[in-house]
Structure 1
Amino acid sequence: MTTETRNSLEIPDCHYPNKPLLIRPDHATPNHSLPLSNLDDQKFLRFTIKYLYLFEKAFCVEALKLSLSRILYYYYPLAGRLRAKEDDDQSKLEVQCNGEGALFAEAYADFSAQEFMQFCAKPNRSWRKLLYKVEGVSFLDAPPLVIQVTTLQCGGMILCTAINHCVCDGIGTSQFLNAWANITSNPDSNLQISPFHSRCALKPRCPPQVTFAHPELSKFTAESGDNGHVAINKYLQSQPLVPISVTFNPSQILDLKRQLVPSLKCTTFEALASHTWRAWLRSLNLSHLLNVKLLFSVNIRKRLWPEMPQGYYGNGFVLGCAEASVKDLVTRNICHGVKLVQHANLLGS
């Protein structure tokens, strides 16, 4: 890595000695269409979940390919292709389980693992160079699973994965990656959790029934009005966006929770969510008359009756929505915000 590159915090381009490969399941898999659930098929999930793993010592790339082929036998929809359904509803998606394969790219980059750590202080757009870009008109043109293994100058390695969010949520993605890691390090081992493929566990009622209000789906509330919603959007669009990463250490989290005890017990997420929400609003200096919302994911795997099957790796979350006026959030203590988050979490189930 040159001095100029170090100073700019822009990682060098990756060099690809060969074209990417398609890694297929090591045995024949079922050939069928897998309909997605309504949770999978939400428009805002049409992107990929990306992970980056840094290793000071590289793994054998051929071993990674072999273990990937083995694990794709079990998670065969990830070796298929997403497409629009062929019936009268072209907006719905399904997975064509055809064993076409996951895309696997090998690359080399001229920097060390230690040098890469210099880029971790805050998000960096140049990290995108570490994941092979699939050319296409839409996200349907890319395989559900894309992987790049980048060998570093020091003998280390960076592993990047992109998994289509319509097929897996964060928990499902973690389940797959853990299974792949386990079978890589222990080739003779069996799966600890068998994947559950069918999305029928989240089949909607017929006819649909809406039994309570869904504020997470509305753009504004009666108190703020359409003008308030437009005003907030206009204000945010006028501000320069600067990426930053903030880490709360255990001592800081404990200080937040001490403001709540003994009157209120809460989780780390609830304390941080309330604190971040309030701090964000204070920084914006918005009108106290406006209503604002905080949206967050609520895992429903164990909240349904019956519970979702073990190994379900599709999207199993809904949006919790906490809502309040700016005045209530910025002038009252953190307990108020935590109670709002806790209430929204309960409604999300």
Structure 2
Amino acid sequence: MATSVRVKEAVMVSPCEPTPARVLTLSAIDSQLFLRFTIEYLFVYRARPGLDHGATTACVKAALAKALVPYYPFAGRVRAKPDGSSLEVVCRAQGALFIEAASDRFSITDFERAPKYVTQWRKLLSLHVADVLKGAPPLVVQLTWLKDGAAAVGVGINHCLCDGIGSAEFLNSFAELASGRRGVLLPEPRPVWERQLLDPLPVRLPCSNSVTTHPEFNRVPDLCGFLTRFSNERLAPTSITFEQRHLNQLKNLATSTNPPSNTESSYTSFEVLSAHVWRSWARALNLPSNQVLKLLFSVNFRDRVKPSLPSGYYGNAFVLGCAQTSVKDLVEKGLGYASALVRSSKERVDTEYVNRVVESVSHSSASPDSVGALIVSQWSRLGLEKVDFGMGSPNHVGPICCDRYCLLLPVSDQRDAVKVMVAVPTSAVDKYNYLARSPYS
């Protein structure tokens, strides 16, 4: 695949207007060890007759320069503070990287199914930042023209600067400028920095039992060589689309086996789908019955804390929800049991819970354990399906690389459908695909 994508231009793009020169402190939530990586998005657009590739490239590049004015920290550089307490952004308009490329091998039909291997689409974002604190630009955009006239836009954003909601707001603002749907007006919602809102409380909270309060940070015994298996065995990407009728089937099945405690509130699509994928994944891996498993997922707390965070806050504003149980219980107690675990781990998140997490990560290097963990990220409700750079709505939205992190993705032209992409060990892939597609099995 070394020749599948040819880079035509790579240039640093700075804000098109003067921006503040300052050093901004990131929050304790932003500075967590497990967020020190790049979120990598891939958008694929159908060929449009008469579309001028040169003019479109110029529009996207110019829009990036405009978008970097209100979002000027994306043109800075992230580093550790001198005292090592947290991270900060040096804002001197250093710029974001823009790449134009062409592919003689990829066409839009290549994205109608899972990639053949984890890194098949890697070249669609040519700069992969391994260490986000070593001076690399926190934002990389690559526009690749495919062999059939379609286009792929790869975007890499330093996770320390923003979460999924924040990055989606930026991407839609950037795309509106490229498509001409917005002029010089500020984006809505207006980007808000204000990371000090997530500073630890002046008075430290009393210690609590972390085992019961924050299981996402606790270690569980590895009874089956779990980490070794995922490190040594080749992972096979999978992609399964769940339409609304499939989601309704899962809701009915979950409710019939374990009705929600609040009878006025049925299980959500996220609760049943993440629970179903978790059970299918666990059963396919054929793990020992006493192995403890975790389902980790982000819980947005913008409106769960009091006072709520302001509209437009684009920093990391989530904590990890953690559903935890044994393989035996997950498999034998059914979908309703697993869905209830997901729901209860969401409902724990309130102001006090968030304050305790902030306090914890401010004074330690707490990080989630990978043993027995399936990490689910919900991209299907971020508005990524609306990111239009002047080429229409994307035909495909997903990650650059499909790996062991499970992503719930939007589906083109199917508002209520969800695509699930996750890579599983090759020895388990056939069984996983069968179980995930067969909720009653």
User: Structure 2: which amino acid aligns with 1:188?
Assistant: G
SS in 1 for 2:304: coil
Q: How does 1:12-161 map to 2 (within 5 A)?
A: 12-18=3-9, 20-55=10-45, 56-57=47-48, 58=53, 60-86=56-82, 88-89=83-84, 92-111=86-105, 113-117=107-111, 120=114, 124-133=118-127, 139-161=133-155
Number of residue pairs matched by the alignment? 331
Contact 1:136 1:142 in 2 (8 A): no
User: Structure 2: which amino acid aligns with 1:276?
Assistant: V
In the alignment, which residue of structure 1 is the partner of 2:276?
A: 275
Displacement after TM superposition at 1:137 (Å) = 6.5
Deviations 1:305-343 (A, max 9, x none): 000111011101101111122222211121111111111
Taking the aligned partners of 1:239 and 1:118, their CA distance within structure 2 comes to 25
Taking the aligned partners of 2:224 and 2:3, their CA distance within structure 1 comes to 41
Deviations 1:227-270 (A, max 9, x none): x4575445555654222222222222121111134733100110
Contact 1:47 1:139 in 2 (8 A): no
Q: Relative CO higher for 1 or 2, CA cutoff 8 Å, sep ≥ 6? A: 2
Displacement after TM superposition at 1:65 (Å) = 1.4
User: Structure 1: which amino acid aligns with 2:121?
Assistant: W
Q: How does 1:216-255 map to 2 (within 5 A)?
A: 216-220=216-220, 226=221, 228-229=222-223, 231-234=225-228, 236-237=230-231, 239-255=233-249
Which structure 1 residue ranges, 5 or more long, are not aligned? 1-9, 221-225
TM-score normalised by structure 2 residue count:
0.69
Displacement after TM superposition at 1:344 (Å) = 0.6
SS in 2 for 1:60: helix
Contact 1:123 1:245 in 2 (8 A): no
Deviations 1:126-154 (A, max 9, x none): 31111122678765331010111112333
Displacement after TM superposition at 1:113 (Å) = 3.3
The higher radius of gyration belongs to: 1
User: Structure 2: which amino acid aligns with 1:43?
Assistant: L
Over the matched positions of the two proteins, sequence identity in percent amounts to 38
In the alignment, which residue of structure 1 is the partner of 2:364?
A: none
In the alignment, which residue of structure 1 is the partner of 2:371?
A: none
1:188 has 2:202 as partner: no
TM-score normalised by structure 1 residue count:
0.87
User: Structure 1: which amino acid aligns with 2:139?
Assistant: L
Deviations 1:70-125 (A, max 9, x none): 11100000011111212x22x62111111111111111221463353366456641
Deviations 1:266-313 (A, max 9, x none): 001100121122222222333323332211111101001000111011
Contact 2:11 2:99 in 1 (8 A): yes
Structure 2 vs 1, CA of residues 119 and 232 (structure 1 numbering), >3 Å: closer, same or farther? closer
Structure 2 vs 1, CA of residues 111 and 347 (structure 1 numbering), >3 Å: closer, same or farther? same
Cα RMSD, aligned residues only: 2.4
Structure 2 vs 1, CA of residues 135 and 180 (structure 1 numbering), >3 Å: closer, same or farther? closer
Taking the aligned partners of 1:231 and 1:181, their CA distance within structure 2 comes to 45
User: Structure 2: which amino acid aligns with 1:49?
Assistant: I
Displacement after TM superposition at 1:207 (Å) = 4.4
